[in-house]
Amino acid sequence: MKILKTTLFVLSLVSVGFAQNVKKVEAKIEKVTVFLQQAQIEKSVNTSLSAGVTKLLVDDIANSIDGNSILVEGKGDFTLLAVKYSPNHLNNKINVLQDSIQRVQADIENLEMLFAVAQNEEKMIMANANVKSEKDGLLPEDLKEMIDFFRVKLTEVGARRLQIQRQMQPLKDKKIRLEKQLAEVRNNALPLGQIELTISASKATPANVKLSYVAYNAGWSPNYDLRVKDVKSPVVIAYKASVYQNTGIDWKDVKLSLSTSNPSISGQKMELNPQFLSFYVPPVVYQRNVKAAKMEDGVAMAAPMAMADMEVASRTVSVVETSMSVNFDLGNTYSIPTGGQPEAVEIQTYSAEADYKSVITPKIDLNAFLVAELKNWEQYKLLSGEANVYFENKFIGKTYLNEQSVDNKLKLSLGRDTRIIGKREEIENFKTRKTIGSNIRESFGYNISVRNTKSETIKVVLEDQVPVSQDSDIEVDVEDLQGGVLEANTGKVTWEFDLPASQNKQFSLKYTVKYPKDKRINNL
């Protein structure tokens, strides 16, 4: 019997020694990599493990987490057995705010009690203020002593009431602020989640665990400030980002990295399906007898709505370029609260050499636009985005920077150049319309001029166009371009030249269109 008791005691010790421990641990956010949509949040845990199996519970995990994105790395003499995510509906931030409101309310109630005591004390003093006259045996010396007594007591009580009121008002204001914060958190914050790490260790050991996951409801968009001192100076490009997040957790003093990749867009290569051809067979339309409406002319059906393609839209910065994207590791730490306004972050500032040209299209606008052409712009890792334009230290408007241009030059519109004036007039003696056989020939001619009212020579790009035929029965014959370059696919005609100060230059554009006389042409 004694041997059996000893065996049971030993087994009990072994069982206790290797029982599962459940341990809540603090995990600080160290770094956040923000993609164009979504963000990867990296946390670190430093703790100690007992021998056996331990479950580490990491709270404050964004509930918008992508459950397949959890990645765990560790240093120490232990083995990671399992990783599990589960929603934790106890929002710590709400609990903290509720506890703060309760503490402030308790302080307010305590002061209200002291204020009521002072009021009652004052009433008691005033109740004994009905002094007797001299006829009742009260001497003047006694009356003066009583008046001094009441003055001292009332002054003491009044000062105490005033001090209590001054202490109470800041507490009431604080309570109102906390209640507003609580309402905002309840409206904006998502319930937070929890990651459970099951770890096995053969002996007690320290452990360093790093975990990361991708969360939705976060991202960044690029925007720019373009500053041009004058047309002889480079373009200064301030590359900025607007970072937003509504993950349910605040990012406090975290290292921030901005990535140009977008995990929300599928990386799966699309496959071409066979394009089968067949003859169109019109559907059979069945007539119906419908009262209150006649449908003898057939049924008019609305055209399907076209769906637009949707794009899933000076600090030390380290630029890390991979084969698929570019990461900007920002040198400073940032604090970005959840559900707040987007945070403006400066990425880098570049000074880019540019060619400045005044581009004018008198057919649609008689004023020119100043355009800066940046060479080798790929080195700046720019993305498409809106830009504020400053010229000669003045804000002149907004433009859009399009990095998806296939040109080897990035063109930035810097605003209207009102001192370059264009003119476009028809050549009356050239415009004709003749019927020749079964065809009609129409001739068009324009004199296009540009005037430079500045005191210096400028580079000018003059644009116009000739029509483009999309039917073999329509022929366009270009007769005169006066040195202009024609893009056959678009019909765009371009002249580039230097225009001296206070000078005018004119070009002629002539073309003829032939088409069958029994047809009408659109857009001629």
**Amino acid type, 389:** V
Output 43 or 380, whichever has higher pLDDT. 43
Nearest to 479 by CA among 422, 505, 441: 441
What is the token pair recorded at 10? Answer: 């030993």
Helix (H, G, I), strand (E, B) or coil at 161: helix
Mean model confidence pLDDT for the chain:
81
For 423-429, which contacts have Cβ atoms below 8 Å and span 24 or more sequence positions? 423/362, 423/366, 423/447, 423/448, 423/449, 423/450, 423/451, 424/362, 424/363, 424/448, 424/449, 424/464, 427/508, 427/510
Which of 8-17, 179-188, 393-402 has the highest mean predicted lDDT (pLDDT)? 393-402
**Following DSSP, what letter does each residue of 90-129 receive, concatenated?**
--HHHHHHHHHHHHHHHHHHHHHHHHHHHHHHHHHHHHT-
Least confident of 279-288, 369-378, 496-505: 279-288
Output 91 or 415, whichever has higher pLDDT. 415
Ranges of beta strands (E only) in 171-313 are 193-201, 205-228, 235-245, 251-259
pLDDT of residue 320: 79
DSSP bridge pairs for 476: 513
Q: How confident is the model at residue 340 (pLDDT cuts 50, 70, 90)?
A: confident
Answer yes or no: is pLDDT of 2 > 60.
no
Backbone φ and ψ for 108, nearest 5 degrees, come out as: -65, -45
Q: At what angle do helices 92-127 and 140-188 cross, to 10 degrees?
A: 160
Q: How confident is the model at residue 471 (pLDDT cuts 50, 70, 90)?
A: confident
Q: Report CA-CA distances (Å) from 40 to 20, 61, 62, 295.
A: 31, 12, 11, 59
Answer yes or no: is pLDDT of 447 > 50.
yes
Q: Over the range 17-48, which residues count as b (16 or more CB within 10 Å of their CB) and which as e?
A: eeeeeeeebebebebbbbbbbbbbbbbbbebe
Rounded distance between C-alpha atoms, residue 197 and residue 212, angstroms:
13
Q: How confident is the model at residue 142 (pLDDT cuts 50, 70, 90)?
A: low
pLDDT of residue 364: 94
How does pLDDT run across 246-297, given as a tens digit for each residue?
A: 888 899 999 999 999 888 776 667 777 776 665 566 665 544 443 333 323 3
How does pLDDT run across 379-433, given as a tens digit for each residue?
A: 888 888 999 989 888 898 888 888 776 566 788 888 888 899 999 999 988 999 9
Q: Residues 484-500: what's their mean pLDDT?
A: 94
